[in-house]
Amino acid sequence: MSTIVLQLFIAGRTPRTEHAIATLQVLIVERLAGYPCELVIVDVLTDPQQAEERQIFATPTLIKESPLPQRRIIGDLADADGLLTALGLPPARLPS
Amino acid sequence: MDSADNQLVAFSDADARLQAVVNVSLEGVLIVDGDGRVRFVNPVAAALLHRRAEDLIGRIFGLPFMVGEVAEIGLLRPSGNLLITEMRTAAITWHGEPAQLIVLRDVTKQRRAEEALRDAEGFSRTILNSLAQRIAVLDDQGVVVMVNDAWHQFAVAHGDEQLRKTGVGVNYFDVCLTATGVGSQYAPGVLQGMRDVLNGELPFFDHEYSADSPDEERWFHMRAVPLHGQRRGLVISHTDITDQRRHGWAVAEANALREQLQARERELLAVSTISGTGRSVARTQRAESVLRVDSPAIFLDCVEQYSALLDAAIEARSFDTAPNIQVSARALAVRLGEQHAVARDVVEIHLAALRSRSIDASPSRQQAYLEDGRVLALQLMGYLVTYYRDGVVV
């Protein structure tokens, strides 16, 4: 099973971004329990290079790097269930 | 034309109409496909992102995810600057494919202004909360619109835990109008003073009042000053001035005591002159000749002895009815006489004992030290006079 890699691009630590981070942590711990997950948080204010390389236009932006297909979501990241649907997660398990 | 061609023409017309509308929109508009890839961008959106439209087409902006009708997102410009925008979305069909219409409104200035206001309010509140004075802000009708922590704590400590009588929303003028109990006789004057300040007839209003608690008498200073700025109102502060008052009383007591002791000393010198017997007499009073300087160890010992007497006097609550205290006081007088002590020495011993005993003492105990101490010091001085006159203290 490949690792689910999520990248969150934020601009500073505001109550809104803290809320988004908390939602993603709930999503990983509760909804994706049993799946290997990795959440990378990038602050575009302190790491503009990454934002430029990844061509980030808005914050918060959540990117599902893997599994493919890649998905990029912007907006109000405050609904764990809705996010799962939008990201196409959890990945369908291959028949054994 | 077949039906597929008709459909294509219809789509093209609809897309063209939509494009014409969004091109003149005052808000930024992007259209993204199912992957979040930019398919269309209007000039305002390009300007918000500080990029040319052709540099945005085909790039992945992201799929909008909304919980409510509006989401707040930051737009990152190539310079690294961030714009704050409100985002609204609608599902549309664009060139025959499902797409998302994203409308962006720049709210950066508005948010910055709100942030600055919050910072300013937080700053003011922090300052107000750092003060020991109880402070309330009233509007022009006398309604409390803000109180600081000290005000809150005082209300809680005095039984108004929910701040129903003195908290935000309460009319402070009505509180004065309906005041009863101790100090209520001053309420009409206080109310008038506050109104005079509010109407600009007085620059400020001051009022000192006492408020007795079960344990002690406390004094407060109230001040009302006008609220400067767009809103008319008042800032009310109450400061506990009990310690200042006590200090004032202590100074007055010390002065009164000094005068009385000096009178005794004059009596003592007269006795010495009349008797002329060469008996032990007080030193000539000179600035450099004091027991504290000449014999510091004895001075400290006498302070300790006097302090113990002071404690005993307070416990007995009556110097005259405590024979043991009188015996000890006479012994101390003899000891001071042997050191040729003068009135200044007695005052210094008295004040040193008061200082050491008042540290950490309750206010009521401090008051008792002041009152009982004066009696004790006078009695001691009387015994000292007797010693110098008769050679003994009976």
Contacts of B78 in chain A (CB under 8 A): 52
Check residue B214 and give its pLDDT: 61
Cα gap A6→A20, rounded to integer Å = 13
Structure tokens at B86: 């409100």
Dihedral class, residue B384 (left if φ above 0, else alpha if ψ from -120 to 50, else beta): alpha
- How many angstroms separate the CA atoms of B281 and B338, rounded? 9
* Position B288, amino acid: E
What does the pLDDT read at residue B324?
80
Instruction: Say whether B76 and A58 touch across the interface (CB within 8 A).
Output: yes
Q: What is the average pLDDT across B315-341?
A: 79
CB proximity A22 to B under 8 Å: no
- The ipTM (two decimal places) reads 0.89
Q: Which of A24, A76, A79, A85 to mutate to test the interface with B (most CBs of B within 10 A)?
A: A76
pLDDT at A69 over 80: yes
CA distance B124 to A92: 55
The closest CB to that of A75, out of B35, B49, B64, belongs to B64
Chain B residue with CA closest to A61: the answer is B62
What is the share, in percent, of chain B residues with pLDDT greater than 90? 33
Does B67 lie at the interface with A, CB-CB under 8 angstroms? yes
- Picking from A16, A52, A76, the nearest residue to B65 by CB comes out as A76
Distance in angstroms (rounded) separating the CA atoms of residues B141 and B251: 43
List the single residue in B56, B76, B87 with the smallest CB-CB distance to A75. Answer: B87
Of residues A62, A63, A59, the one with CA closest to residue A45: A59
Percent of chain B with pLDDT over 70: 87
* Residue in A16, A55, A58 closest to B75 by CB: A58
| pLDDT band of B125, cuts 50, 70, 90 | confident
Q: Is A79–B68 a contact, with Cβ atoms under 8 angstroms apart?
A: no
Q: Dump pLDDT digits (tens) for B258-298.
A: 777 777 667 666 655 554 444 445 555 444 568 888 889 99
Is it the case that residue A70 has pLDDT exceeding 50? yes
Chain A residues with CB under 8 Å of B59 CB are 55, 57
Q: Measured between alpha carbons, how far is B354 from B351 in angstroms, rounded to an integer?
A: 5
Beta carbons of A48 and B68 less than 8 Å apart: no
In angstroms, what is the C-alpha Rg of chain A?
13
State the count of interchain CB pairs (< 8 A) between A and B.
79
Q: Is the pLDDT of residue B15 over 60?
A: yes
Tokens 């405590």, residue?
B322
For the cut 90, the answer to whether the pLDDT of residue B177 exceeds it is no
Please check whether residue A38 is in contact with residue A3, taking contact to mean a CB–CB distance below 8 angstroms: yes
- Residue A30's contacts (CB-CB under 8 Å, 6 or more residues apart) are A80
Locus of tokens 């835990």:
B161
How are strands ordered across the β-sheet holding B63-65? A37-43, A4-10, A61-66, A71-75, B63-65
Q: What is the pLDDT of residue A96?
A: 43
Alpha helix (H) residue ranges in chain B: 3-23, 43-49, 53-56, 108-130, 149-157, 172-177, 187-198, 242-275, 291-294, 296-316, 323-338, 343-358, 363-390
**Residues A25-48, mean pLDDT to the nearest whole number:** 90
Token pair for B76 = 């990152």
Q: Is the CB of residue B322 less than 8 Å away from at least one CB of chain A? A: no
pLDDT of residue B254: 74
Nearest residue, CB atoms, B67 vs list A57, A62, A79: A79
CB A32 within 8 A of CB A93: no
Extract the tokens encoding B229: 């700025």
Do the beta carbons of residue B335 and residue B302 sit within 8 Å? yes
Contacts of B49 (CB under 8 A, 6+ apart): A57, B28, B41, B56, B75, B77
pLDDT at B44: 93
Q: Which residues pair with residue B144 across a beta bridge?
A: B138
Task: For residue B65, give the nearest of A45, A59, A75 by CB distance.
Answer: A75
CB atoms closer than 10 angstroms to residue B26 = 7
Q: State the Cα–Cα distance between residues B342 and B387, nearest whole angstrom.
A: 12
Q: How confident is the model at residue B23 (pLDDT cuts 50, 70, 90)?
A: confident
B183 to chain A, any CB pair closer than 8 A? The answer is: no
Using the Cα atoms of residue B384, residue B280, residue B354 and residue B344 in order, give the sign of their dihedral: positive
Are the C-beta atoms of B241 and B133 separated by less than 8 Å?
no
Q: Is the pLDDT of residue B50 over 80?
A: yes
Q: What is the CA radius of gyration of chain B?
A: 41
Q: What is the mean pLDDT of residues B165-170?
A: 86
**pLDDT tier at B182, thresholds 50, 70, 90:** low
Query: For residue B277, what pLDDT is reported?
Result: 45
Structural domains in chain A, sorted by start: 4-67 (3.40.30.10)
What per-residue confidence (pLDDT) applies to B222? 93
The DSSP code for B169 is T
> Between chains, do A57 and B49 touch, taking CB under 8 Å as contact?
yes
Exposure on the CB side of residue B109, measured as CA atoms within 13 A: 2
In angstroms, the separation between the Cα of residue B31 and the nearest Cα of chain A is 14
Report pTM: 0.52
Which H helix or E strand runs over B37? none
Strand partners, B65: A75
From the list A74, A63, A65, A72, the residue with the least C-alpha distance to A16 is A74
B65 and A45: CB-CB below 8 Å? no
Question: Taking 70 as the threshold, does the pLDDT of residue B46 lie above it?
Answer: yes
Evaluate the CA torsion angle A57, A58, A64, A70 in order and state its sign: negative
Distance CA B17, CA B29 (A): 14
A77 contacts on B by Cβ (under 8 Å) = 65
What residue of A is the nearest CA neighbor of B59?
A55
Q: B206-262, pLDDT tens digit by residue?
A: 998 887 666 667 888 999 999 877 778 999 999 988 888 878 877 787 777 777 777
Residue ranges and CATH numbers for the domains of chain B are 3-106 (3.30.450.20), 131-240 (3.30.450.20), 245-390 (no CATH)
> Which range has the worst mean pLDDT, A29-33, B31-35, B139-143, B198-202?
A29-33
Pick B74's closest partner by Cβ from A48, A58, A71. A58
Task: List beta partners, residue B217.
Answer: B212
Distances in Å between the alpha carbon of A46 and those of B81, B214, B254, B345? 12, 59, 66, 71
The C-alpha of A96 sits at a distance from chain B's nearest C-alpha, in angstroms, of 30
B150 vs B19: CA distance, rounded Å:
61
Strand, coil or helix: what is B225? strand
